[in-house]
Amino acid sequence: DIQMTQSPSSLSASVGDRVTITCRASQSIRTYLNWYQQKPGKAPKLLIYAASSLQSGVPSRFSGSGSGTDFTLTISSLQPEDFATYYCQQSYSTPPTFGGGATVGIK
């Protein structure tokens, strides 16, 4: 199975900050990398697919980059509704696997 490792596991930030979360795969997954946002008590929501494609309806302050084993999710200017947990997930091989999550909290 491909292991997905996210860092940091948690961070504190202020509204307006630029936030970056990284995700590393245990082997190359080309660009088969997706990002999700989950708020407490809610289902996950797809933000980015294929490493850098913005899902329909997702604000443009979210962006993704990377290929191979190293990937990044960036929030260009953090908004109050962005405080949540973010997961990466590889769709390169079965089983699809998720990172452990990165929680963005209020500073």
62-81: contacts with other proteins (CB under 8 A): none
Tokens of 78: 């953090």
Task: Please state, in angstroms and as integers, the Cα–Cα distance from residue 32 to each residue in 29, 78, 82, 86, 96, following that order.
Answer: 6, 26, 24, 17, 10
Our CB check for other proteins shows the closer of 78 and 99 to be: 99
Our CB check for other proteins shows the closer of 45 and 61 to be: 45
Q: CA 60 to CA 47: how far, in whole Å?
A: 10
Nearest-CA neighbor of 24 among 74, 96, 88? 88
**85 DSSP β-pair partners:** 38, 103
Our CB check for other proteins shows the closer of 34 and 75 to be: 34
Site membership for other proteins, residue 7 (CB under 8 A)? no
Binding mask 88-107 for other proteins (x = CB under 8 A): -x-xxxxxxxxxxx------
Candidate residues 55, 67, 74, 76; the one interacting with other proteins per rule CB under 8 A: 55
**Which residue ranges make up the site for other proteins (CB under 8 A)?**
34, 36, 38, 42-46, 49-50, 55, 87, 89, 91-101
